[in-house]
Amino acid sequence: AQARVRSAPAPVTDVARLCVCDLLVAQCDTNCCCDPDCSAEDFSLFTTCSIPVVVGDSQLCSQKAAVYSLDVEANPPERIFKLIDQVNPSIFCIHATNYEQALYFKSPEIPTAENFDQLLEKFGGATFSAEPDSWNLDTDAQNPPEANETSRYEYGAPVQTEDGFLRLPSPVVSSWCSDANPAGFLVNQATKCIRSVSVEKCDSIQALSMLFYINSSILASVFQVNITVQSIVVQSLNGTRTLLSRGEVLRLPMVLDELCINAVLGVNYHITHTDTGEIIEAAAAFVLGAISRETLSIEQSFKISFTQENTQPVPLSGNPGYVVGLPVRAGFQPQGYPSPAAFLFASLALSSNKHSQLTILHSTSTQDCLAAQGARAPVLFGYNMISGCKLRITAAMKCQPLAQTLLDVLKGQSFPEYVASFGNSQAQDVFDWVPITQLHISEQMIPHTLQSSCQIPVSLGIEVKWTKYGSLVNPQARIVNVTATITSTTLKQLPSGREKIIPITTSVVFTDISSPAEPSYKAWPTINIKLPFDFFYPFV
Amino acid sequence: NNSSQLSSLPLHILLYVNGVYYIFYFLATLAMIIYKSQVFSYPDDFLAPDLAVLFLMAILEVPRLYLGFKGNLTEAEAPLGLSLGLTVGSVLLCVYLLLWQSYVLWADVLLNAVLLAAYGLESGLKVMAIAAFVS
C-alpha cells in the first residue's frame, strides 16, 4: 500500500458532473448546456444543446441520466437540467456486474520504482502489441515452420527465413528504423530510416554489419536459399561511390583512424522466383560507408524487388488502363519488317531503358538549349507538361546544322514511333500500340518568303488523346491518338556581330475524348414457346 | 387413498417440475453466458469460473433429483437426507450465479430466483417427508 506514491485521478462517473463538450477551461463553450463555466446569460444565447443527454452505459437496467434542454418559450431562454432514472426495458439488461473493468476503461499503471523496469521492457520500444509472443524473433525461441507451408508463397506473405522473417528495416512510427518489419512476397518496397550510431559501438551494432542482412537463409520448398552478395559499393565521406571489383567478399565494420568503415548504408535485395511462387535465388547489393566520430545517426535505405525467372522485368504503367503519374510506354518497330503480314508476328522493341521512352526536354537552370542536350524527362500519363530553353543565335551559325541540332534537342536521341494503348500492352499485341502521327507546321513570318529560306523548328507539341474504356464503375484510361507537331519558323539572316535569343518550347497535353457513357440494361428475357411439330397430329 | 402412504405427493410433483425446469434453466443460462461473451468484454479468467459453476450445478442436479425421487418413493430417509445435502450445495451455486457472476442480467435474476424458490420449497417438503418417515 505504501508503494503507490501517486495514482491517476479517479475517473468521473457521476453523470451530473460529466460534461464532454466542456473543452475550454474557465470559459463558456457555445451550445454546451452542461458547462459549469456558463452563466444564465450565456444560456440565454444558446440555440440548442449540443449534448442533450449524458448517460452511462445504456445496457444497464437502471441508471441515472442527466438531461439538458433549453426552454425557448421562456424569455430569456433558460437551461433546464434534470436528473432522471433511465430504465432499460430489455430482459437482457445488466442488473449488476462483479467485474471491475466491464463498463469502464482500465486505468493505466502509474510507473513507480518497482514496476518501472517491467513497464519499460514492455512499452519502451517503438512498437508494442497485445501479444508480443507471436512475433518473437529470438533464435532460441523460434520453431521452424513446416516445410509444406513455405513451399509456395502468396502475394503479401512474409518471406520466411531460418530465424524468423526476412527483415526490411523501415520507419514505423517515427523515422527511426524498426527491425521487425518483414518483407512481403512480391511486394516491391523501398524504405529509408534513421538509425542512431556511434563510432565506439561500431562492431556491436548488428544492423551496421553485412552479416545481419545475409545471415539467415530463406526457406523455400525443399531447400534453403542462401542470400548471396551481388555487389558492394563503397561510399566515401564526401558522397562519391565506387563499385568494388571483388564484391563477393564479406566486409565487416571495424574502426580505422577514428572512422567506422564498412558500415551498411543501404541494402538492395533481389529475389528471383518461379511462376508458381517458389523462391529460387536471392541476392543483396550493399552500399557501405564510413561513420565519423561526430555522426550520431545515419540514414539507411532498403529496397527489395521480385523478378520472375527467365523474364525481363518491364514496369507496367497500369493494369490495364494507364495510371495517372506513370510513364507513357513507347517503342519502335524493329527494322526489316516492312510488310503488314510480317508485322503481325514482329514484336516491338520495348523500352525499359528510359532514354528510349517518350520523353520531352527537361528545363535546366542554365536555360541554354545547346548546353542541355542530354536532360530529358519522361512523359507521365495525365500530367500536362511544358518545358523549354533559350537558343542564342549568332550570325555565324549555319542554318541546316542548327535545324538538325534543334530537332535533336526537341525530340531527343530516339523518338519512339509507337505508344502503348494500355498500361500493360505487351509487345506481341501489335494492335495495342498506337503510331505517333508527326506533323510539321511552318509559321510563315513573311508570307512571300521563298521555301529556300531557313526554317528551324522552335516548338514541339505532343497531344495525347485518351478515352475512358471499359465499365462505368471502373473506367480504364486508354490512349487513342498521339500527335507530335513540330512548328518551324523562318530564321532571318542576322547582320554580323548581332545575336538573337529565340525561346524553344516543348509541351505535352493530355486530352480526354471519351464520349459520355451510356448505361445499358439487360434485355428482358423472352419466353420462347413453340408448339411441337406434330402437336395437331391426327388433324394436320 | 390409504393414509398409510407416507410418500409425499407434492414433493414428487415438485421434483418432477424441478427436473424439467432445470433443463430449461441450464440451456438458457449457457446461452446467456455465450451471449455475454460476445457482446461484452468477458476475459477468459472471468468466464472460466462462471462456466465451471454452471456445469458443476448440472452435475450435482442429476444425483440430487434421483435420490429425491428414490427416497420419496421407497419412503427411506437416507437417500432423502443425502438429496437434502446436495440441495444445500446447489443452493450455494445458485446464489453464486445470482449475485457473484461477472455480469448478472435481469433474465439471470429471474431464472435464479425461481430456481431458489423451488429449492427452498423442495427442502421444506423433504424435511417434512423425512420427519414423516422417521416417526
Greater pLDDT, A23 or B95: B95
Residue B28 lies in a domain: yes
The Cα A478–Cα A323 span in angstroms is: 10
Q: How far is A103 from chain B (nearest CA, A)?
A: 8
User: What is the rounded radius of gyration, in angstroms, for the C-alpha atoms of chain B?
Assistant: 17
Q: How far is B32 from chain A (nearest CA, A)?
A: 9
Answer whether A58 touches B (CB < 8 Å). no
Residue B2 lies in a domain: no
Domains contained in chain B, number:
1
pLDDT in tens, A172-192: 888 888 888 888 888 888 899
Domain boundaries, chain A: 15-103, 157-308, 326-512
Of B100, B107, B110, the CB nearest to A98: B100
Of A91, A97, A101, the CB nearest to B107: A91
Greater pLDDT, A47 or A151: A47
A 10 A CB-CB count for A491 gives 19
Residue A343, pLDDT above cutoff 60 = no
Task: Measure CA B80 to chain center.
Answer: 14
Answer whether B34 touches A (CB < 8 Å). no
Per-residue cell: A118: 517491467
Choice among A70-74, A135-139, A296-300, A302-306 with the minimum mean pLDDT: A135-139
pLDDT reported for residue B83: 95
Helix (H) or strand (E) holding B122: helix B106-134
pLDDT reported for residue A540: 65
pLDDT band at A302 (very low <50, low <70, confident <90, very high): very high
Percent of chain A scored above 90 by pLDDT? 11
Per-residue cell: A353: 531503358
pLDDT reported for residue A448: 53
Task: Measure CA A139 to chain center.
Answer: 33
Residue A51, pLDDT above cutoff 60 = yes
Strand partners, A466: A479, A512
pLDDT reported for residue A7: 65
Greater pLDDT, A356 or B123: B123
Residue A246, pLDDT above cutoff 80 = no
Residue B110, pLDDT above cutoff 70 = yes
Sheet holding A475-491, edge to edge: A349-350, A330-332, A418-420, A433-443, A475-491, A454-470, A499-512, A385-394
Cβ distance B102 to A61 less than 8 Å, yes or no, reads no
> pLDDT averaged over chain A?
81
Answer whether A95 touches B (CB < 8 Å). yes
The Cα A454–Cα A278 span in angstroms is: 63
The Cα A301–Cα A287 span in angstroms is: 9
pLDDT in tens, A68-88: 988 888 888 888 889 999 898
First-residue to last-residue Cα distance in chain B: 20
Q: ipTM score here?
A: 0.83
pLDDT band at A332 (very low <50, low <70, confident <90, very high): confident
Query: Nearest-CA residue of chain A relative to B40?
Result: A102
The Cα A160–Cα A148 span in angstroms is: 12
Domain that holds residue B67: 9-134
pLDDT in tens, A491-524: 877 778 888 888 889 999 999 998 887 777 788 8
Residue A342, pLDDT above cutoff 70 = no
pLDDT band at A142 (very low <50, low <70, confident <90, very high): very low
Contacts of A102 in chain B (CB under 8 A): 40-41, 102-103
Q: How far is B107 from chain A (nearest CA, A)?
A: 6
**Phi and psi at residue A276, to the nearest 5°:** -100, 5
Cβ distance B99 to A96 less than 8 Å, yes or no, reads yes
Q: Is the dihedral of CA A149, A154, A156, A162 positive or negative?
A: positive
Choice among A29-33, A310-314, B26-30, B42-46 with the minimum mean pLDDT: A310-314
Specify which of A289-298, A338-347, A354-363 reaches the highest per-range mean pLDDT: A289-298
Select from A63, A88, A90, A94 the residue whose CB has the most chain B CBs within 10 Å, as the one to mutate to test that interface.
A94
Query: Nearest-CA residue of chain B relative to A57?
Result: B40
Specify which of A216-220, A405-409, A433-437, B50-54 reaches the highest per-range mean pLDDT: B50-54
Pairing, β A223-225 against β A385-394: unpaired
A 10 A CB-CB count for A76 gives 11
Cβ distance A94 to B103 less than 8 Å, yes or no, reads yes
What's the residue count for chain B? 135
- Give the residue from A191, A152, A188 showing the smallest Cα distance to A168: A191
Residue A3, pLDDT above cutoff 60 = no
User: What is the rounded radius of gyration, in angstroms, for the C-alpha atoms of chain A?
Assistant: 36
Contact between A427 and A416 (Cβ < 8 Å): no
Cβ distance A92 to B32 less than 8 Å, yes or no, reads yes
Percent of chain A scored above 70 by pLDDT? 86
Pairing, β A78-87 against β A170-171: unpaired
pLDDT band at B31 (very low <50, low <70, confident <90, very high): very high
Contact between A518 and A472 (Cβ < 8 Å): no
- Sequential DSSP letters for A479-530: EEEEEEEEEEEEEPPPPTT-EEEEEEEEEEEEEE-PPPP----PPPPPP---
pLDDT reported for residue A499: 83
The Cα B6–Cα B13 span in angstroms is: 15
